[in-house]
Structure 1
Amino acid sequence: MADHGIDVHEELAEARVSGFHLRLGAIMGLLTLFDGYDTFNPAYVIHYVAGPWGLKPGQAGLLISSGLIGFLIGAAAHGIVADRFGRRGTLLGGLWITSVFTLLTALFADSFLSYCGLRLLTGLGLGVLLPLATTYINELAPRRVANTFALWGVALGWALGGTAAGLVGVFATPVFGWKVLYWIGSLSFLLLPFLHVQLPESPKFLVLRDRSQDIRALLSRLRPERAALYATAEISVVRAAETRNPVAILLSARYRRTTLAIWISAFLSLFCIFGLTGWIPTVMMQRGETFSASFGFGAIMQIMSFLGGLALGSLIDRAGRSRSLIALWWAVGGVAVLALVAFNTHAVNIAAVALSGFCIIGAQFVLNNFTAVSYETSVRATAVGMELAVARVGAILGPVVAGALQQVYQSPVPMFVSIGISAIAAGAIILFARRPLAEQSSLVNEGRAVSEVVRSTS
């Protein structure tokens, strides 16, 4: 909080979207582009290595899950580091880890064990990028466009990255082999010098650390029309008191119901997402699709996921009611996956995959924002990190369970059933979370407005 009527949190929330906002959004988009690319490219490796490495479907699922195990560790640990030492350095560290081990995968992954080991280490960096980029952009986004801005700044990059992995899988891997996926992924090194120069610290973290000079400078860049006021005002902030373990706070009486609902829903959501995206190219070839079409289904899912997240985020920014809308998106996505059980035509395959990406992955993007705004600043990075860490348990199990079901039943039908039901269940469970504080305040204000109208007409 600031003296002389300046409230740093309100200054950020009431800002107009400026050029500086857009540049920061673009930076987060570039970060998550490499995250999305690296997260989804193992799906295009299975086709090439399953035979030479003698892998059964259950083992092939581990090619995807190995990186997700590292992601789980990174996502769980980074929030505590970022809440204590800052968002900027933690993000940069995550990108360095991702870049180094992506390059090492291209150079040295020549067996099932070496590939899985390097993917696990890459995942430690990936576990930082998406959750912390989500936290970062939510802490600087203007309130009235919070979901939409976060989706353009984070989800678009992640979806484009996943789409790029599909395009490389379709057009480059047949010519250059599967390692080309990782040679291209190592281009993230080019982003590092730019980020070291351009990436500022999160403003709300600066508030917690009483760095008033840095706050003044950053506010002037975010709201240049008020730069003169910031330059002369005495901005004092309350130093954050030492608190207990932030994970314990997430499970305290204040947050427990919301935390558990978010964790279970996120677990089921990523079980669906990675179970489906990890196997969709292989399964579609089994259903009679061509090689290029089968690999293209992954790109379709990623493109539609951004559009679905953007549509959902825009609806929530305008109408609120985030829980019920997220639940609706997951339910529709689950029904789309179940349609693959009953029908197997090219048109149905395209429509069902597109709709599942639009709804299931799109809702996950918005769930990340929902998590960020459901907790106070001092534990926000930990909250988003823990959400995605728990979710990554589902992501790890998704490809493995999907592979095991195919191995046992010699059919993808049980996989589609488990994913469809899990998506619907995720939608039901998120309804148990409490409304974010911003929505509660909005409802109170609406109630007051209605009361004023009633009194004025009485």
Structure 2
Amino acid sequence: MSDQPAANVIEVERVLAETHRPIFQAMLLALCGLCLLIDGFDAQAMGYVAPSVIAEWHVAKTALGPVFSASLFGMLLGALGLSVLADHIGRRPVLIGATFFFSLSMLATPFVATIPALITLRFITGLGLGCIMPNAMALVGEFSTPAHRVKRMMLVSCGFTLGAALGGFVSAALIPAYGWRAVFWVGGAVPLLLGFAMLTRLPESLQFLVLKGRSARAASWLAKFDPALPINANTRLVVSEKRNDGAPVAELFRAGRGPVTLILWAISFMNLIVLYFLSNWLPTVMREAGYTPGTAVIVGTVLQTGGVIGTLLLGWFIERMGFVRVLFACFAVATVAVGTIGAVAHLLPWLLVVVFAGGFCVVGGQPAVNALAGHFYPTALRSTGIGWSLGIGRIGSVIGPLVGGQLIALNWSNAALFHAAAVPVLCSALLVVVLAGATRQPRRASEAELA
């Protein structure tokens, strides 16, 4: 008989499912949630300071259209490129590196004094911002059991919307007292501090490490997750998924995933056209409608507040009713709400109601689409799947502010502007119906659960 001791086999998913570690989970949710909160704050900062920049620099409103789109184009490239990188090197290094990167970019923004310089710097900032959402959601999802994955991914993604809403309140307080540049000082300093906290406390995905053959690092993080585990030199960690060495983007179209991948991209594209049109132009349009700068900012904040509440409640509904039913109802209601904004623009109470409803469904619906991608794809493709869904969608986020700026330049009425904005949301609702058809013939367990 051999004197070699038998290997101690540990199933990673079973440990995650059976070990109650509320402090560890709370720390992970806090770090990723704060990262997304600052991401949302910084991504929407330009929309909140736009009226002040226009007044100080004496430029036309339409001059800021390229500024909005430059940031979004950077986020698009960041989501596409760095999400794939994260499926090669890990979620942890990409999240930490991106947080430091966009922090320094935000701190540099107050020093610019021209539109071309602002366009350049917002593009650079967007590169760091773009990869935060897919990697934070992937990391939280991979430390969750399937029963709680959607709820936790929706919860952490709420940080982005909360940050965007918080940005409105912070901007409304900072701009009158200290000027618009103070918004970027705050937006850069906070993630700089957060980055140092992430260096010491943010874990790496256990499933990712095992699938990549980095068992020693996986064992080290697993020991931190559950110090009671009998981990030694003979311990062998296993996961239920198989290793995938193919090109991550190509894998999104294999094993029957192609139709759902394309539909996810199209839904994200349509929804983000409207989301970023509303986020960037709503305060400015309301200012032109006769409201004070403070009230115009509050209208934009109500949009994001609706998104926060929508994100929290939609996750609860999805767990009970499935993605397809909830998303269809969400986008159908959004079509009516967005299309009504212009008609009630002169009635502040009703304006706040329909803007809140639009935020609930459009802003709150986007994390649901992201969670759907995270739920659908396996570990080896999760960051790429979420990142490419967001990245392709952000083509729409670039188009939305640009087209909005052009329609405003053509002197479209408020009613016509928001009727046009409702069309992509209607397309999202119809695409959810197509998604239901694509998932009616189950190919994999995760796909069968979407309805």
- Could you state the TM-score of these two structures normalised by the residue count of structure 1? 0.89
Please report how far the alpha carbon of residue 440 of structure 1 lies from its aligned counterpart in structure 2 after TM superposition.
Answer: 5.3
Paired residues of 2:375 and 2:446 also in contact (CA < 8 A): no
1:122 counterpart = 2:125: yes
**Aligned twin of 2:157:** 154
Matches within 5 A, 1:39-438: 39-106=43-110, 108-155=111-158, 157-187=159-189, 188-222=191-225, 227-228=228-229, 234-237=235-238, 243-252=245-254, 254-317=256-319, 319-344=320-345, 345-433=347-435, 434-435=438-439, 437=444
- In structure 2, relative to structure 1, the CA distance for the partners of 1:320 and 1:4 (3 Å cut) is farther
Structure 2: distance between partners of 1:186 and 1:141: 30
**Aligned-pair Cα RMSD in Å:** 2.4
Please report how far the alpha carbon of residue 212 of structure 1 lies from its aligned counterpart in structure 2 after TM superposition.
Answer: 3.0
**Aligned twin of 1:8:** 12
Structure 1 gap segments, 5+ residues each: 445-458
Give the secondary-structure state (helix, strand or coil) at the position aligned to 1:432. helix
- In structure 2, relative to structure 1, the CA distance for the partners of 1:47 and 1:256 (3 Å cut) is same
Paired residues of 2:263 and 2:431 also in contact (CA < 8 A): yes
Paired residues of 1:16 and 1:142 also in contact (CA < 8 A): no
Structure 2: distance between partners of 1:111 and 1:369: 38
Structure 2: distance between partners of 1:134 and 1:236: 23
Paired residues of 1:12 and 1:142 also in contact (CA < 8 A): yes
- In structure 2, relative to structure 1, the CA distance for the partners of 1:48 and 1:442 (3 Å cut) is closer
- Could you state the TM-score of these two structures normalised by the residue count of structure 2? 0.90
Structure 2: distance between partners of 1:374 and 1:298: 32
What amino acid is aligned across from residue 327 of structure 1 in structure 2?
A: F
Give the secondary-structure state (helix, strand or coil) at the position aligned to 2:256. coil
Give the secondary-structure state (helix, strand or coil) at the position aligned to 1:172. helix
Paired residues of 2:47 and 2:68 also in contact (CA < 8 A): yes
2:42 to 38, 57, 74: 38
Paired residues of 1:18 and 1:222 also in contact (CA < 8 A): no
Structure 1: distance between partners of 2:135 and 2:70: 21
Please report how far the alpha carbon of residue 309 of structure 1 lies from its aligned counterpart in structure 2 after TM superposition.
Answer: 1.1
Structure 1: distance between partners of 2:232 and 2:321: 36
What amino acid is aligned across from residue 215 of structure 2 in structure 1?
A: S
Please report how far the alpha carbon of residue 359 of structure 1 lies from its aligned counterpart in structure 2 after TM superposition.
Answer: 1.0
Paired residues of 1:14 and 1:142 also in contact (CA < 8 A): no
What amino acid is aligned across from residue 326 of structure 2 in structure 1?
A: L
What amino acid is aligned across from residue 257 of structure 1 in structure 2?
A: P
Paired residues of 2:66 and 2:119 also in contact (CA < 8 A): yes
Structure 1: distance between partners of 2:425 and 2:450: 28
Structure 2: distance between partners of 1:332 and 1:229: 53
Give a deviation string over 1:76-133, Cα, whole Å, max 9, x none.
1012211111111111111111011111112x21110111100100111001111211
Structure 2 gap segments, 5+ residues each: 1-6
Paired residues of 1:320 and 1:439 also in contact (CA < 8 A): no
Structure 2: distance between partners of 1:413 and 1:297: 17
What amino acid is aligned across from residue 288 of structure 1 in structure 2?
A: G
Identity %: 30
Give the secondary-structure state (helix, strand or coil) at the position aligned to 1:235. strand
Please report how far the alpha carbon of residue 138 of structure 1 lies from its aligned counterpart in structure 2 after TM superposition.
Answer: 1.1
Structure 2: distance between partners of 1:295 and 1:311: 25
Give a deviation string over 1:145-192, Cα, whole Å, max 9, x none.
22222232231x212311221112212112221111101111111112
- In structure 2, relative to structure 1, the CA distance for the partners of 1:87 and 1:440 (3 Å cut) is closer
**Aligned twin of 1:449:** none
- In structure 2, relative to structure 1, the CA distance for the partners of 1:198 and 1:253 (3 Å cut) is closer
Structure 2: distance between partners of 1:320 and 1:15: 28
- In structure 2, relative to structure 1, the CA distance for the partners of 1:336 and 1:15 (3 Å cut) is farther
Structure 1: distance between partners of 2:396 and 2:371: 19
**Aligned twin of 1:25:** 29
Structure 2: distance between partners of 1:440 and 1:75: 23
Give a deviation string over 1:33-91, Cα, whole Å, max 9, x none.
11000010111222122245454443322221111111111111012211111111111
Paired residues of 2:40 and 2:164 also in contact (CA < 8 A): yes
- In structure 2, relative to structure 1, the CA distance for the partners of 1:168 and 1:421 (3 Å cut) is same
- In structure 2, relative to structure 1, the CA distance for the partners of 1:311 and 1:223 (3 Å cut) is farther
Structure 2: distance between partners of 1:316 and 1:251: 25
Please report how far the alpha carbon of residue 4 of structure 1 lies from its aligned counterpart in structure 2 after TM superposition.
Answer: 7.0
Paired residues of 2:324 and 2:450 also in contact (CA < 8 A): no
- In structure 2, relative to structure 1, the CA distance for the partners of 1:421 and 1:242 (3 Å cut) is closer
Structure 2: distance between partners of 1:142 and 1:399: 38
Give the secondary-structure state (helix, strand or coil) at the position aligned to 1:357. helix
Paired residues of 2:10 and 2:238 also in contact (CA < 8 A): no
Structure 2: distance between partners of 1:219 and 1:12: 9
Paired residues of 2:79 and 2:391 also in contact (CA < 8 A): yes
Paired residues of 2:161 and 2:363 also in contact (CA < 8 A): no
**Aligned twin of 2:4:** none
Give the secondary-structure state (helix, strand or coil) at the position aligned to 2:203. coil
Structure 1: distance between partners of 2:231 and 2:372: 31
What amino acid is aligned across from residue 207 of structure 2 in structure 1?
A: K
What amino acid is aligned across from residue 426 of structure 1 in structure 2?
A: S
- Shifted more, 422-431 versus 433-442: the winner is 433-442
